Structure 1
């Protein structure tokens, strides 16, 4: 005969799992809303910068939604009051450095592998659609290298990763195992981009990136790793 504790525990586990998934969905949804709002708020600022320095303004236009993500993450941290993401900021280990270097490569190889399958079912990502790859832009305009790297590695990637890894991934971590955190976190990351970029192909390819970056964070428990991997993707590959 089961005790009262035996009966309550499974229900409590399901309830807590549902709450953590619902919380992650709400945070991801708030990120989408804030990302859209950021488009309208930040664009005039970037336009003003672009009027003075056109090349830098063009680079900044690639990062219109990240300030919205940062705002949601900051709001969550303020609301929780006991959450310190800096606890997960460390010098990368050898494994972390491997994740940083290999994530963009693994993403590109995966895209090349699935592209023929997409064509077979009538879908195509049409090549990457984010304009000139950043490293080429830096070669053509060396004066962009320092400000561009600062924007990508120290501002925009931290904003995005603080929300999706530092907040959403850790929210799922209270009730899910490693595989669940990576899968759900990757799907939420892809789902966000499908709203902001549009299309099934965008959902698929950005989910692949989300899974890789989530796995890097899950393995290392170090926010620096997904931040550097994400910014490295921006640097080496033309984003969707």
Structure 2
């Protein structure tokens, strides 16, 4: 009986894709572990700050995992010394600005549409019940935290998360996958992370949508500022305080 073999070219291609995806999954998993460690280490510090500056400390409680992401991204850059994602930070073009808007506003619209469809599948989501106050409204009512709040979101936390998931994980997929593959796999890995850090299939679904939008904007513009601004912009405009 003749044994069928995989052509060497196809076999090497499959191996390249498998290694690339496995590397990206490993980085995402390491990010989850680092996020948990960051939460354990930083949450008490933010709680101490909350006793002296209650509202700002409460804001910081929303961003206890991002420092862990930043450490993983920094470790990757150190290990892979021929690549620096900071080289892909630049002033956005008009197209980049459009992608920023699509990432933030488009994601919110997608969440609202999908939320309406969830009961058809016996699911529900209470994140848009009108009871939660968006961050921008808190800033408007409490001007003393506007500057530190914006710095936390736009300068530190969103960049650390996007450096890992777009700057590092997306880059790890570049050698083996085309544009569509990088966007879909990177977006799903971003969503998969939230199963462990946020919990539930609904979180996976919603955050995967944002992950795909952010990855598409980054893929199209090759500018890390685009997903960073979209991410922080969503937190500011729509995320509950």
Q: How far is the alpha carbon of 1:82 from its aligned partner?
A: 1.5
Show structure 2 runs of 5+ residues with no match: 1-5
Cα deviation, 1:31-58, whole Å, max 9, x if unaligned, reads 1111111111001111121122111100
Show structure 1 runs of 5+ residues with no match: 1-5
- 1:3 counterpart residue number: none
Aligned residues: 235
| Deviating more after overlay: 81-90 vs 205-214 | 81-90
* In 1, Cα distance between equivalents of 2:107 and 2:10: 38
- 1:165 counterpart residue number: 166
Q: How far is the alpha carbon of 1:103 from its aligned partner?
A: 1.7
Q: How far is the alpha carbon of 1:164 from its aligned partner?
A: 0.1
1:81-160 aligned at under 5 Å gives the runs 81-128=81-128, 132-160=133-161
Contact 2:20 2:176 in 1 (8 A): yes
Q: How far is the alpha carbon of 1:122 from its aligned partner?
A: 1.5
Q: How far is the alpha carbon of 1:139 from its aligned partner?
A: 0.8
| Deviating more after overlay: 221-230 vs 76-85 | 76-85
Contact 2:102 2:213 in 1 (8 A): no
Pick closer, same or farther for the CA change 1:128–1:38 going to 2, 3 Å: farther
Cα deviation, 1:72-112, whole Å, max 9, x if unaligned, reads 11111111122111221111010001111222111111112
| Deviating more after overlay: 36-45 vs 130-139 | 130-139
Contact 1:77 1:84 in 2 (8 A): yes
Contact 2:88 2:222 in 1 (8 A): yes
- 2:36 counterpart residue number: 36
* In 2, Cα distance between equivalents of 1:102 and 1:187: 18
- 1:75 counterpart residue number: 75
RMSD: 1.7
* In 2, Cα distance between equivalents of 1:121 and 1:7: 43
* In 1, Cα distance between equivalents of 2:219 and 2:127: 30
* In 2, Cα distance between equivalents of 1:159 and 1:194: 19
* In 2, Cα distance between equivalents of 1:25 and 1:189: 10
